[in-house]
Amino acid sequence: MNRIDNWFKKRKLKPIPIFIALIALIILLFIIILVANYQTDHDDKVTMKEDAELRTGPNAVYPEIYPAEKGETFKQLDKKGKWIYVSTKDGKEKGWIAGWHTDLNIEPDSNPNAKPLKNKVIVLDPGHGGGDQGASSSTHFKSLEKNYTLKTGQELKKLLEQEGAKVKMTRDKDEYVKLKDRNLSGDAFISLHNDALKSPDANGVTVYWFKKQQEGLAEALSMSIQKKAVLSPKGARQENYQVLRQSKIPAVLIELGYISNPTDEMMIRDELHRHIVEQAIVDGLRTYFSN
Ligand SMILES: [Zn+2]
């Protein structure tokens, strides 16, 4: 103790009473425990490095239940292969997420079919535009078809590019493009529209094809949209539309709900609902190009 007393005397300081030193030590221990806990809490934190989705099971075939955005964090609960079982921070949503979309340093599946859309050229054709407004709603929203076909096209483009696809748009702004000028080449052509009828009761999604070689794509997209069952699915039907008649590639025209039906209109206007339908189109394309 003498040496310590001398050390304090030399510096003209009062020696620290033992009990204060003890309290300081206890506080220090407490802080160390807190920090250690904080680190274990954060060890099971998973951060999204790109947009993806939570699914009901550990495989891409399971339905999507929650869209996870780049930067969003989750709590890891379990792991199966390359899939992580997570919950949202508030614990309200739980689901499986592919590990390669997260910061966990997991390699994507080496399955060549994992990216069936890679380098595929997808033509997106947002219907109408400019002076051609397309169909419109009769609610106070006065929604115009031309605006929602363009929004869907732009959102779908982003999703397809995440899958490695190359996307061509027949229009990417509010302009009028003649039907004959929408005939772009690629691996698949998707014309986007909204239906309308005088009766506000008509509702649902219809996927149209015209040539026999277009039917497979229409069925794949219709099946995929049906699985999500957001808008009531009306199946794949044959119709002699010019954009289908003139196309030399697998081409479909999708009527994404009735803008004249107030419920469909709400879904057409709602970004989250659009995202679900767009993801269904991506899934349908993945299935189509996997076969
Ligand atoms: Zn239309």
Q: Across the strands, what pairs with 168?
A: 123
87 pLDDT band, cuts 50/70/90, is very high
- The Å distance, Cα 253 to ligand 1 centre, comes to 9
- The Å distance, Cα 207 to ligand 1 centre, comes to 13
Share above pLDDT 70 across residues of the chain, in percent, rounded to a whole number = 91
pLDDT digits (tens, 9 = 90+) for 232-248: 888 899 999 999 999 99
pLDDT digits (tens, 9 = 90+) for 2-52: 676 777 677 776 666 788 888 888 999 888 888 776 655 556 899 999 999
- The Å distance, Cα 194 to ligand 1 centre, comes to 5
- R_g of the chain computed on alpha carbons: 28
- The Å distance, Cα 277 to ligand 1 centre, comes to 17
- The Å distance, Cα 172 to ligand 1 centre, comes to 16
Mean pLDDT in residue range 58-72: 84
- The Å distance, Cα 195 to ligand 1 centre, comes to 6
Alpha carbon distance 278, 138 (integer Å): 25
Neighbours of 199 (CB within 10 A): 10
Looking at the predicted structure, is the pLDDT value of residue 61 above 70?
no
- The Å distance, Cα 256 to ligand 1 centre, comes to 10
Looking at residue 244, its amino acid is L
What average pLDDT is seen over the chain? 89
Looking at the predicted structure, is the pLDDT value of residue 288 above 70?
yes
- The Å distance, Cα 44 to ligand 1 centre, comes to 48
Alpha carbon distance 28, 22 (integer Å): 10
- The Å distance, Cα 126 to ligand 1 centre, comes to 9
- The Å distance, Cα 72 to ligand 1 centre, comes to 36
Looking at the predicted structure, is the pLDDT value of residue 198 above 80?
yes
Vertex 169 angle, CA 167 and 170, to 5°: 150
Question: Full-prediction pTM beyond 0.85?
Answer: no
110 pLDDT band, cuts 50/70/90, is low
| Predicted local confidence at residue 221, as pLDDT | 94
109 pLDDT band, cuts 50/70/90, is low
- The Å distance, Cα 132 to ligand 1 centre, comes to 10
